Amino acid sequence: MAGTIRTDVRVIIGFAESFSAPEVAWSLVSCGFEVLSFARRGSRAALRVSRYATVFDLTPPEDDAQAAVRDLQAELELLGRDQNVKLILLPLDDASVWMCAQLPAGERLAVIGPGPAKVDFALDKNSQIAAARECGFRVPETLLTHAGDGVDFPKLRYPIIVKPARAISFSSGKLGRDRFHACVNETELHSALQTYAPGTPLLLQEYIAGTGEGLFGLAAQDGVCAWSAHRRIRMMNPHGSGASACVSITPNADDLAAGTRLISQVAWRGLFMVELLRDAAGKTWFVEFNGRVWGSTALARRCGLEYPAWAVLDAIGEGQAVPKKPSIHPGVICRHAGREAAHGLFVLRGARSRSAVKWPSRWKTLKELLMFRTSDHWYNWKREDWRVFVADFVVTLRGVIIKKRHKQQT
């Protein structure tokens, strides 16, 4: 870690509960930045036990979104009393992207995120799909509807995925996130639609079996730099979720071309991820655009790609220190201990929908999970900050078990 901390810049990241928070904090500290992080009051964020970040609490936006924004603004005002310090705000998840876009602009406050002008695109998956199609990405057949509206079932080809059109919703003064459903027939679709509040915008999308990939970069003042890519090895939940293990790959030329057009068309600035799906025939399909730090930041860092630190350097006018075309290191594997354990639990439990036609083998899964290679890397592991790794493992499994119990009770 950096031996000297800069006194002219403070970086505030959040939410501390975000999957990438520890790796982001370590990236910033390694570049000499002081790191603070905001967390939901009462949360069990692993970053709370870190030696390298100071965590302060906010009202959970799921309880009162405007109160959360006011709490954050009050903390920023306190931190900004020193006229010689510039504040950099780096949102790590969709809730913080929405919150940061509500803050008034300031001379000594820079937000590495979409801001008010781009926040709708960052959170609206239907707009992203339209833009991706125009820029040359292959997009699954998609129907936009609203919960409570009639759906023309004969036009749908099963299996399908039902997911909210908004990455995060604001309703009754609260932020919320609706879950997605995989449906293999009309009965499952009817049941899925009943779980959404009337009027909720939904995307009904053709289910395509394949492997998840990600295309990453930093859109700086002079264009996109530091392109990289990874492929998922396993998802925490085989039905569909974040990765529990992934491997770095060489970016595909066609995907890069389409991604470059997309970033240019929407005039994006800052960090971004284009989520893709590669089917059995080798074709890539657009899934969504994430205009923020992504969950697999750990893998990028194991490849020498310090995206969080580079984004801050670009934001404070030191973009010349950001490598435009860093070396690509394909084949680097990174695993998340808590999610790997959760993956095993999901596989042992079995599929909950017939849409998962290729449910992983229990014995093969256990063999893969128990295989440890000396070349494997781990998310959120740093010897000098080992307590974060332990806390992250416990918090991850606890969250999965509590969620499963809640579903069983309801």
Domain boundaries, the chain: 9-116, 141-206, 209-379
Q: Which residue has the higher pLDDT, 39 or 208?
A: 39
Give which of 199, 210, 202, 207 is closest to 179, Cα–Cα.
202
- How does pLDDT run across 141-162, given as a tens digit for each residue? 999 999 988 776 666 788 899 9
Q: What is the CATH topology of the domain spanning 141-206? A: Dna Ligase; domain 1 (3.30.1490)
Alpha helices by DSSP H, listed for 31-149, are 65-79, 94-101, 115-123, 125-134
Tell me: pLDDT of 406 over 60. no
Q: What is the pLDDT of residue 2?
A: 54
Q: What is the pLDDT of residue 359?
A: 80
Tell me: pLDDT of 25 over 80. yes
Tell me: pLDDT of 106 over 80. no
Please tell me the CATH code under which domain 9-116 is placed.
Answer: 3.40.50.20
Query: For residue 197, what are the CA distances in angstroms to 149, 170, 177, 202, 316?
Result: 11, 12, 12, 11, 42
Pairing of strands 333-335, 377-378: parallel
Tell me: pLDDT of 219 over 70. yes
Q: Which residue has the higher pLDDT, 231 or 151?
A: 231
- How does pLDDT run across 263-321, given as a tens digit for each residue? 999 999 999 999 999 999 999 999 999 999 999 999 999 999 999 999 999 999 998 88
* Model pTM score: 0.92
pLDDT, averaged across the chain: 90
The region of weakest confidence among 38-42, 63-67, 102-106, 380-384 is: 102-106
Q: What is the pLDDT of residue 409?
A: 38
Q: What is the pLDDT of residue 322?
A: 86
Q: Which residue has the higher pLDDT, 16 or 343?
A: 16
Q: Are 276 and 285 in contact (CB under 8 A)?
A: yes
Superfamily of domain 209-379: ATP-grasp fold, B domain (3.30.470.20)
User: For the chain, what percent of residues have pLDDT higher than 90?
Assistant: 66
Q: What is the pLDDT of residue 3?
A: 65
pLDDT band of 83, cuts 50, 70, 90: confident
pLDDT band of 65, cuts 50, 70, 90: very high
What is the mean predicted confidence (pLDDT) over 335-355? Answer: 82
What is the mean predicted confidence (pLDDT) over 250-256? Answer: 95
Burial class (CB within 10 angstroms; exposed 0-12, middle 13-18, buried 19+) of 242? middle
Burial class (CB within 10 angstroms; exposed 0-12, middle 13-18, buried 19+) of 199? exposed
User: For the chain, what percent of residues have pLDDT higher than 70?
Assistant: 94
Q: What is the pLDDT of residue 405?
A: 46
pLDDT band of 325, cuts 50, 70, 90: confident
Transcribe 318-333 into DSSP letters: -GGGS-SSPPP-TT-E
What is the mean predicted confidence (pLDDT) over 170-194? Answer: 89
pLDDT band of 330, cuts 50, 70, 90: very high
Segment (H or E) for 341: helix 337-349
Sign (positive/negative) of CA torsion 156, 157, 163, 166? negative
